[in-house]
Amino acid sequence: MAPEEPEAPAMPPAVPTYDLYGEAQPRPVLDPVHLETLMVRSHPHDWNIRPHRHRALGQVFWLSAGGGLILREGQAQAFEAPFLIYMPPGAVHGFRFAPWSAGHVLTLTDSLLLSALRLMPEPWPAGAFSLGLAGHEPLVEGLNGAFQALEAEFRRTGPGRNTAMAGWVLLILSLLRRGLAEEASARRPPSPQSALVERFRAYLEAHFAEHLTLPEHCRRLGVTPSTLTRACRAVAGQSPLQLIQERLMLEARRLLAYTAFSVAEIAFQLGFDPAYFSRAFTRQEGLSPAAFRRRALWSEPAKTSESIISNDDKRQNFTRSKDS
């Protein structure tokens, strides 16, 4: 049964900016990851989160039970669980939740969010978006499990905590992207060209580092280069060679972020001369491989007007904010 539809949250005269909702003073240190249950902040405010924005923070709202209204950039939308909402840094949003709604609120610094999204091959929407996931049981089960596991790591102390949290954050963002893809696929019927591009992408997962010519790839796929090129340009807006290069650079970013291999070792793994690899990576990413590695994931916590996390702090477990 759908929850009783609440009234939309009223827009305040001036939109306040918070680190975490309702906290008037900015936090001297912003943890790269903050997780709390929906009830922690909503119940004390009578389930009414007035329109606001966050400085240098993106958020993912996972509603596993209940429903309500979201006010997003002045537009109200009713929603019912299971429901997923993404808010980029700076986006104005407010909620009126049905009482006893349940779920999680994941808050990420913009530097962590940017680094995580750079490790994903698919484009990420620039603005806010939401997904109704009724009937998408595998996604719902995956999100429930990922948020529960992330919550367990968030409350843990000791070695491996930050790495484990990074993995769960990436999984949650990947599930968001998968949900977007499923929604887009449901809106448009499959075409022979889209099926061919999907087959090409799946093929690349096993062969992207082989540095074959386009005719050789096409011979393995059983299509002509012109057919594959037309399909890739129509569906992905890129040529087959651009998709191959994109997949190579994705692997390079992953190896730089998650392994201790030297830049030269990564270049050899991907079939490049080290000097050429550095030039190609810098041209594609706007950063040298070494600079990208320094910025990857946890290395750049968000700055506030008061202070930043010191290098020693970054090597220790992150200070966890108390739920309030």
Residue ranges of domains in the chain: 17-136, 192-299
CATH, domain range 192-299 = 1.10.10.60
Type and span of the H or E element at 77: strand 75-80
Equal fold, 17-136 vs 192-299 = no
Check pLDDT > 50 for residue 265. yes
Q: What is the pLDDT of residues 97-119, one digit of tens each?
A: 999 999 999 999 888 888 888 88
- Would you place residue 188 in the very low, low, confident or very high pLDDT band (cuts 50, 70, 90)? low
CATH, domain range 17-136 = 2.60.120.10
* Residue 59: predicted pLDDT: 92
The region of weakest confidence among 47-61, 111-125, 286-300 is 286-300
Neighbours of 160 (CB within 10 A): 9
Question: Is residue 269 classed as helix, strand or coil in its secondary structure?
Answer: helix
Least Cα distance to 307 among 26, 21, 10 occurs for 26
